[in-house]
Amino acid sequence: MAQQYPAPPPDDEPGHPAYTKPAGGGPAADNPYAAPQAPPAYGYPAAGPPQPAPLAVPGPLTVPGPVPAGTVLTLGDIAVAGDTIVTPAGPMPLKGAVWTCTDMSRTREKIQTAGVVLAVAFVFFCAVGLLFLLMKERITTGYVQVTVNGGGRHHTTLIPVQSPEQVMYVFQQVAYARSLSV
């Protein structure tokens, strides 16, 4: 006789069901999907209730001072409020402060992927295929460095930019800060 596919497991006897209800009562006897109600073999954890987190962190704690009311201008972590410039290096007087701004961003131009794909697809139509290579995008990445000197202190911050418009916006803010420092 040919082999049966799939062959019955060797433990099962033909004609007898592979599963029988457990003896006795309980939820498993009535519901075949119920799990047995026994405690886990490894036991429950013996830890008590969770402890609250500590309120204070050990060691020196530096809390930045509050920014005075009436903040006129904010450039990164430099704030101009009233007649004071507030920085992480400490406050400095606004009068006579020297502001410098350096553009450290770069703009690169590349052909878009869709333009290359369309140029290859329309390679037989010479004029149309080459026009797709004119599809370019400009990507600006980098920072604008803003430095302020005044009252014997010096602070520099880097402001991330993603477009030439953002670079010009930071330069305009620095120009406004210079006009306030006169």
Contact 177, 73 (CB under 8 A): yes
| Model confidence, pTM | 0.54
Residue 152 inside a domain? The answer is: yes
Strand (E) or helix (H) holding 90: strand 90-93
- pLDDT tens track, the chain, 182 positions: 555 556 655 555 666 665 565 565 555 556 656 665 555 555 555 555 666 666 655 556 555 555 456 788 999 999 999 889 999 989 999 999 999 999 999 999 888 888 777 777 777 776 777 777 777 888 899 999 999 999 889 999 999 999 999 999 999 999 999 999 98
Domain total for the chain? Answer: 1
Tell me how far apart the alpha carbons of residues 168 and 136 are, in angstroms, rounded to a whole number.
22
Q: Is 53 a member of any domain?
A: no
Residue 145 lies in a domain: yes
Distance CA 93, CA 86 (A): 9
Residue 60, in any domain of the structure: no
76 falls within a domain = yes
Domain residues for the domain of 158 are: 71-108+138-181
Is residue 106 within 8 Å of residue 142, measured between CB atoms? yes
Would you state the torsion angle of the CA atoms of residues 83, 85, 91, 96, taken in this order, to the nearest 10 degrees?
A: -70
